[in-house]
Amino acid sequence: MADPQFFTPVRTLTLEEVAALAGGRVARGDGAMRLSRVAPLDQAGPDDLTFLDNPRYVPQLRATTAAAVILAEKHLGAAPEGTAVVVAPSPYRGMALVLQALFPDATRPPGVTGEEGISPAAHIHPDARLEDAVTVEAGAVIGRGAEIGRGTVICANAVIGAGVRIGRDGYVGPTASITHALVGNRVILHAGVRIGQDGFGFAMGPAGHLKVPQIGRVVIQDDVEVGANSTIDRGSNRDTIIGEGTKIDNGVQVGHNVVVGRHCVLVAQTGISGSSTLGDFVALGGQAGVSGHVKIGSGAQVAGASAVKDDIPAGTRVGGIPAKPIREWMREVTTLQKLASGRESDT
């Protein structure tokens, strides 16, 4: 496990409790065994709990010295004889639930200064309204008419613009800035996030590029998480919307007027151009690019480093430049590899 100076378990769990949290069963070992330490397969020792989810790590499972492991039924036979085993339908999800029980403080980032309440070194406009149990750390600025709900933490040097609304039990990381936005409950905005700045709108022409006023907002629904240094532009003449439960990685750009559905996943360095719409449960791989005014249907998946220029039907998996159905893309890649191999053999 990483340095315990930062994350210390708050309790121990029996193997039976681990199985219950993971939605599985104890397949081998003493159910009363107590565990509080966790580690990856290749680093786990005789006091540690570990897990296997990806089959490529089965060789590490065979060699592990862990006290106990969470895994799927099909991998039970690969676990060393002396290792206790919890069989669970989804080992990765099960391990996540165990980690939440052991390290509840790691489920939401902490403040950076350790302060509670309102720091005397924060600047809060007298017309701002804060509910009880809000923490505002040193150097934070909260503008006129802003409203912040109970239990939310505003970290050092964050800026909350005039009129912004932030719900309860949220988190705004250090140096983040939020303007022209309505933010729901339990929203996590990591360090350096930029919400609500101008969208990239210009009427281009031979006489120069005329700036188009951006008069919309950003609406972020409940339980959204936005990674460090990601940016979400406010709408030009309508709202930019991020649906509930959506998870956005570090370094993602969301353009003006974009609508992202519920429980979507946007992986690092993804860029979504203005006025595109994503349905629910859409997944965009790292460095994927989406052109403007494109519609991606619910449940669609886009492979990393792909370029989406056309609408994608619901439930479709696509990849490539330009993006196309995944099987078609893979056939093209395979054909090119064969052609390249043939040319090399001719030389």
Active site members: 256
Residue with tokens 């595109």, as numbered in its chain: 276
Integer Cα distance of 85 and 35 in angstroms: 13
Q: Round to whole Å and give the CA distance between 253 and 231.
A: 5
| CA pair distance 103, 10, nearest whole angstrom | 6
**CA-to-CA distance for 338 and 297, rounded, in angstroms?**
33
Q: How many whole angstroms separate alpha carbon 194 and alpha carbon 228?
A: 9
Type of residue numbered 131 = E
* Helix ranges restricted to H, the chain: 15-22, 58-63, 91-102, 326-346
10 Å CB burial of residue 252 (0-12, 13-18, 19+) is buried
